[in-house]
Amino acid sequence: MAGEVSTPLEVRVERLGAEGEGIATDAGRALFVAGGLPGERVRVRLVEEGRVRRATLEAILEESPARREPPCALADRCGGCDWMHLRPGAQVEAKERIVREALERIGRVDLARTRILPTAGAGTDTGTRRRAVLHWEAGALTYYGRRSHRPVPVAECPALVPALVSLPGRLAPLLAGAGRALRDVHLLAEGDAVTLALSVDGPVRPALRRAATGLVRGELARGVVLLPSAGAAEEVGRPVLEAPAPLQAEVRLRLRADGFVQAHAEGTSQLVARALELLGPSSGDRALELYAGSGTFTFALAARVAAVVAVESSAVAVSLGAAAGRAARVANVRWVQGDAGRVADGLVREAARFDLILADPPRTGAPALARLASALGVQRLVYVGCDAGSLSRDAGRLVQAGFRFEALQLVDLFPNTHHVEALLLFSR
């Protein structure tokens, strides 16, 4: 349709899809409408024609009772919070339906014998995110627009925790001297403490060091990590924050803005607690944790089992996790840096045996998990996933490998978006 202006269409939105868009039917084909809600009659204009058809929302002719006024002025442009126009209760219902349908359709899993537990909520729909990645564009910090790399300048973001909410607008003028190579700015908060990471194209240059030093001296951040595309990372100030480990407050997790950490701090404690509830009593067991990060689940798990092997590909995360364990004298965790699949394959070759696995893979999932769990003699497995398609494919493989899908628990860590964390319990 390049170069053409399409004729407006009137359609009825039927449901919300796994990527957050409203789905209507036109000429017998699915039509994806960002911003449309189930039950709404809308006028749209086709913008993408091919295997997937998409349209822009031009007018709402009949409005859903689940629609609300978004609590952010950028909601119609920013790609970060795609469901901010949907009431919180309706968001949860949609997420539950999307995950269940994906498990049945993609994973071909029969949920009739699976315990489906009530979704655990995040408690509030704004002011919850303790981390964010913004992009430097033409002297402003920006998010990307929906399904695009179109920059959306942001001065304040109500999705962020109080320590971060107005930081983008305050940072922008202070980063103007950092040079044109500045690419992304990572924000991370723990309580009132803030740390940053600045990624740049090429090496770290003096202008960037001066900018980072100014941010620390001006008390906008305790520390800054400089991340060049070529060369080693540099630290300015004290860029590592500490936070109590979920369910194990005596262990102080180490957090850095360039490392992975769950965005919702309070919700993360719920996520860990629910995961351990699913695993059940485990005092004498050996546990394998795959995609361990810097210890979100690790130390709570270590308090319940005899030994944990924690596998993580990020050298930064392993360093932070191991340091937290040493400081708290946690002696039953062995940290291994490497690709989860390759490390697990090595454990299989060594004839290692584990009673349980806790896996928290990236959005792409863990296709080899079923094979590896079988080869390692695993009896119980908790899978943590945030992508309905990937977790459904992995669930199907586990069932085919002889595991029983016992329980499904959703934890809503991403209010105002179509994302949700799912905990899946499997057993032999």
Mind listing the pLDDT tens digit for each residue in 236-289? Answer: 999 999 999 999 999 999 999 999 899 998 889 999 999 999 998 777 799 999
Beta bridge partners of 60: 42
* Dihedral over alpha carbons 81, 83, 88, 89 (to 10 degrees): -150
pLDDT at 7 over 90: no
Going by DSSP bridges, is the β-strand pair 115-116/404-411 parallel, antiparallel, or unpaired?
parallel
Helix 88-105, helix 388-400: angle, nearest 10? 40
pLDDT at 173 over 60: yes
Measure the CA–CA gap between 17 and 20, rounded to whole angstroms: 5
Q: What is the pLDDT of residue 123?
A: 65
pLDDT at 41 over 90: yes
Q: CB–CB of 292/259 below 8 Å?
A: no
Measure the CA–CA gap between 67 and 79, rounded to whole angstroms: 18
Q: What percent of the chain has pLDDT over 90?
A: 89
Q: What is the pLDDT of residue 122?
A: 64
Which domains, from first to last, does the chain contain? 9-67 (2.40.50.140), 92-123+264-427 (3.40.50.150), 131-239 (2.40.50.1070)
pLDDT at 2 over 60: no
Closest CA to 312 of 290, 288, 334, 342: 290
Mind listing the pLDDT tens digit for each residue in 78-124? Answer: 989 999 999 999 999 999 999 999 999 999 999 999 999 999 986 67
Side chain identity, residue 334:
R
Measure the CA–CA gap between 177 and 180, rounded to whole angstroms: 9
Instruction: Measure the N-to-C terminal CA separation of the chain; round to a whole number of Å.
Output: 52
Q: What is the pLDDT of residue 96?
A: 97
pLDDT at 62 over 80: yes
Which strand ranges, in their side-by-side order, compose the sheet holding 131-137?
151-153, 140-144, 131-137, 182-190, 193-200, 223-228, 234-237
Q: What is the pLDDT of residue 87?
A: 95
Measure the CA–CA gap between 406 and 408, rounded to whole angstroms: 7
Instruction: Tell me what the pLDDT averaged over the chain comes to.
Output: 94
Q: Exposed (0-12), middle (13-18) or buried (19+): which is 328, by Cβ within 10 Å?
A: middle
Q: What is the pLDDT of residue 5?
A: 58
pLDDT at 148 over 90: no
Tokens of 286: 């050996």
**Confidence grade of residue 3 (pLDDT, cut at 50, 70, 90):** very low
* Beta-carbon-side half-sphere exposure of residue 39 (alpha carbons within 13 Å): 7
Tokens of 200: 């740049």
**Confidence grade of residue 309 (pLDDT, cut at 50, 70, 90):** very high
**Confidence grade of residue 354 (pLDDT, cut at 50, 70, 90):** very high
Specify the residue for token string 């520390």: 223
Q: What is the pLDDT of residue 379?
A: 96
The residues annotated with a catalytic role in the active site are 386
pLDDT at 32 over 70: yes
Measure the CA–CA gap between 292 and 339, rounded to whole angstroms: 11
Mind listing the pLDDT tens digit for each residue in 186-233? Answer: 999 999 999 999 999 999 999 999 999 999 999 999 999 999 998 899
List C-alpha distances in Å: 389 to 92, 386, 416, 420, 428: 18, 9, 20, 12, 23
Q: What is the pLDDT of residue 67?
A: 97
Measure the CA–CA gap between 339 and 415, rounded to whole angstroms: 31
Measure the CA–CA gap between 408 and 428, rounded to whole angstroms: 16
Q: Looking at residues 387-405, what average pLDDT do you find?
A: 97
